[in-house]
Amino acid sequence: MSGDARLSAETRGRVRRARADEPLDAAAALQHQSFTNPWTVESMQWELRETDVARLYLLEDGGALLAYCACWVIFDELHINSLAVAPEARRQGHARRLLQAVFADVTAGGVTGATLEVRRSNVAAVALYERLGFRVEGVRIDYYQHPREDALVLWHRRLI
Ligand SMILES: CC(C)(COP(=O)(O)OP(=O)(O)OC[C@H]1O[C@@H](n2cnc3c(N)ncnc32)[C@H](O)[C@@H]1OP(=O)(O)O)[C@@H](O)C(=O)NCCC(=O)NCCS
């Protein structure tokens, strides 16, 4: 995103892309709270610094992190690798608004479709993505560990 994208007046926070050289402790902490297999701060920073494809979008309100979305942009595809909203801020539309801001940013750069994997039991995430136009296109058996579980493969083929 070129500079910050201010969200509409009635919504909380603003979305921005994290820089490769900034501390990512808040995003890492939220990831640790939200997943059983989180990445380290170092691996998040390495990916942003050393690859052309990795992006980290942050939804912040007054300096507090409400949500993040870690993704790759590979040619015309967006791969969503991790998304989480602070537990106390869930069910307030933050994930939807963050993803809509991400989609607006990447489609401006030529992305046309988006994909991700999600645990089969993650009812909240599947409902969120289906509401945004994603559909289940496949299953990866035993994809996740801790606990072992299948992944649903979701695609949105027409972001624009
Ligand atoms: C999944 C998650 C990102 C949703 O974030 P959120 O900000 O609470 O979602 P939103 O408020 O934007 O919800 C948008 C829509 O998603 C669906 N949804 C979100 N949470 C839901 C839940 N707990 N149960 C059922 N549907 C849910 C609803 O359709 C909702 O619309 P509505 O509130 O008008 O009914 C959040 O629960 C989270 O961080 N979970 C832990 C990490 C995780 O599972 N990430 C996704 C991995 S791919």
Domain ranges of the chain: 5-112
d(CA 122, CA 56): 22
Q: How many other C-beta atoms lie within 10 A of the C-beta of residue 133? A: 14
CATH class for domain 5-112? alpha beta
Give the model's pLDDT for residue 74: 98
Give the model's pLDDT for residue 105: 98
pLDDT digits over 43-82, tens only?
Answer: 999 999 999 999 999 999 998 999 999 999 999 999 999 9
Above 90 in pLDDT, residue 4?
no
- Cα 160 to averaged position of ligand 1 atoms, centre (Å): 23
- Cα 124 to averaged position of ligand 1 atoms, centre (Å): 5
Which candidate, 40, 104, 96, places its Cα nearest to that of 67? 96
Above 70 in pLDDT, residue 108?
yes
Above 90 in pLDDT, residue 10?
no
Give the model's pLDDT for residue 3: 42
149 is catalytic: no
Catalytic residue among 60, 117, 143, 149: 117
Question: From residue 48, how far is each of 42, 90, 141 by CA, in Å?
Answer: 10, 26, 29
Q: How many other C-beta atoms lie within 10 A of the C-beta of residue 114? A: 26
Catalytic residue among 47, 57, 68, 129: 129
Above 50 in pLDDT, residue 31?
yes
Give the model's pLDDT for residue 12: 83
Residue nearest to ligand 1 atom 24, measured at CA: 124
Confidence of residue 1 (pLDDT cuts 50, 70, 90): low
Residue nearest to ligand 1 atom 43, measured at CA: 84
| DSSP β-bridge partners for residue 17 | 57
57 is catalytic: no
Largest CA distance in the chain: 43
pLDDT digits over 71-91, tens only?
Answer: 999 999 999 999 999 999 999
* Single pTM value for the model: 0.94
Give the model's pLDDT for residue 155: 98
Spell out which residues line ligand 1, taking CB within 6 angstroms: 34, 83-85, 90-96, 116, 118, 122-125, 127-128, 131
Percent helix, strand and coil across the chain, each to the nearest 5: 30, 35, 35
- Cα 95 to averaged position of ligand 1 atoms, centre (Å): 7
